[in-house]
Amino acid sequence: MGEVFAGRYELIDPIGRGGVGAVWRAWDHRRRRYVAAKVLQQSDAHTLLRFVREQALRIEHPHVLAPASWAADDDKVLFTMELVSGGSLAHVIGDYGPLPPRFVCLLLDQLLSGLSTVHAEGVVHRDIKPANILMQATGTGRPHLRLSDFGISMRKGEPRLTETNYVVGTPGYFAPEQMMGAEPDFPADLFAVGLVALYLLQGQKPDSQALVEHFAAHGTPGAPEGIPEPLWQVLAGLLQPDPQARFRTATGARKALTAAVEMLPDAGPDEEPVEVFDQIGPLPPGFGPDGPVTAPQPPQAPHASQSSQAPHTPQAAQPSQTPAQESSVPPPPPVTMSETGSFHLAPPPQQQHQPHSQPQFHQPTPPPAPLPTQPAAPSPYAAGALDPSQAPTSGVPHDASATRPYTSQQQHQQHQPVAAHAADTPVHGGITVNSHAPTPVRQTRPGPPPKVAVPVLVVALICFAVGIWALTQM
């Protein structure tokens, strides 16, 4: 995996190098796509100011490759742009040499189209050359050109970052007025476009100094060998040493080029098609078309303790637990809710506990109208089942007489109104149960006895009277 820059751009492999920095193929983790990242090598004030100018340029055009975003990490800065994989015009010339005139006219039309938009923004490129004109990897299809590298570009009227007698650019593609220290202007870019056209048609870098001297001494020369006359007339209008005699705008040069193309001869049947190859190469290991590739995790074998356990009951029948309880306490046995809303205890296993016959206990019958609840397990208190709470746990006999007087009196007071209508069922553990009576009504607590209540009221009246007498004396 590569270095992650500013937490967003993962640098993968270098794909180029310029005057002020290296260009990397990078993966944008936010937008999930591959981009070209230009990392600044120097951090002096002059270079940073040029960097700020370049990254601030935002031009949307199909034949312009402008910066899209930027980031800073400690003492490093970079800006990103769309990844173009077909190399530059220098790669195309290296593969084929001189290019067919019609193919060159198509590239020039795209270059002038993008340059007209750049000039419309008031920007002078100042570094147009084959290495800064990139190509999409279109194969044998229609070529697609992108004008890039605005590192030394500037808007007209902005202060210059160099001295007056210092020339910035690439030797061999300077306009004559640039060599004399003139202010950057649009015709200087058009002169560089004419030199790029000669490079594509002849397959080698032209001698701009000799060309300017020839124009100055003999005027416009005849068309060089291999260049059609209509196309040469357009190139001669781009290569005039005097900027006043040169095309003034990229739009005007494009119109003249369109008229010249109509007079060019058709391509011959034996003309080899130009194929634009992918110059970047395959992705390194660990990266795929959709970004970084994560290694698949091997399947984990289940633990022996988990595989030997019996299947659990559905989670809906178990009471909810907090995460702390789940991690420290084993899950309780499943319980169900009775007709009155209480939870029954789980019945004892049949193979470990045999029901004991106790003639002295009688099981209550279920109420006549149970409340609608979710399906529940059979109640351990149903007829024929033993109440686990009343089962003897030792040899000590169960004596229910200790609680019989109080509970008998309480039941007698509670069910006295309905005693004439239904007979009490036999006692169960010393408690009398009425099989036909409704759910017992909650009884209120009795008040204090009269021996206590009367003296308290007398004292309260005396205090009240004393208080009124005290208020009247004030």
Q: Is the pTM of this model over 0.75?
A: no
pLDDT, tens digit (0-9, with 9 covering 90-100), for 311-347 = 444 444 444 444 444 444 455 455 444 444 444 445 5
pLDDT, tens digit (0-9, with 9 covering 90-100), for 38-54 = 888 766 666 777 777 77
Question: Is residue 191 domain-shared with residue 220, that is, in the same domain?
Answer: yes
pLDDT at 442: 59
Does 127 fall in a domain?
A: yes
Question: Is residue 123 domain-shared with residue 165, that is, in the same domain?
Answer: yes
Give 300's pLDDT tier (boundaries 50, 70, 90).
low
pLDDT, tens digit (0-9, with 9 covering 90-100), for 409-448 = 444 444 444 444 434 444 444 444 444 445 555 556 667 7
Question: Is residue 17 domain-shared with residue 157, that is, in the same domain?
Answer: no
pLDDT, tens digit (0-9, with 9 covering 90-100), for 92-126 = 999 999 999 999 999 999 999 999 999 999 999 99
pLDDT, tens digit (0-9, with 9 covering 90-100), for 146-167 = 999 888 888 887 766 555 555 6
Question: Is residue 57 domain-shared with residue 152, that is, in the same domain?
Answer: no
Question: Is residue 101 domain-shared with residue 248, that is, in the same domain?
Answer: yes
Question: Residue 252 maps to which CATH number?
Answer: 1.10.510.10
Q: Give the Cα separation of 408 and 434 in Å (integer).
A: 12
Angle of helix 89-96 relative to helix 186-202, nearest 10 degrees? 20
382: pLDDT strictly greater than 90: no
**Residue where one domain finishes, among candidates 24, 54, 83:** 83
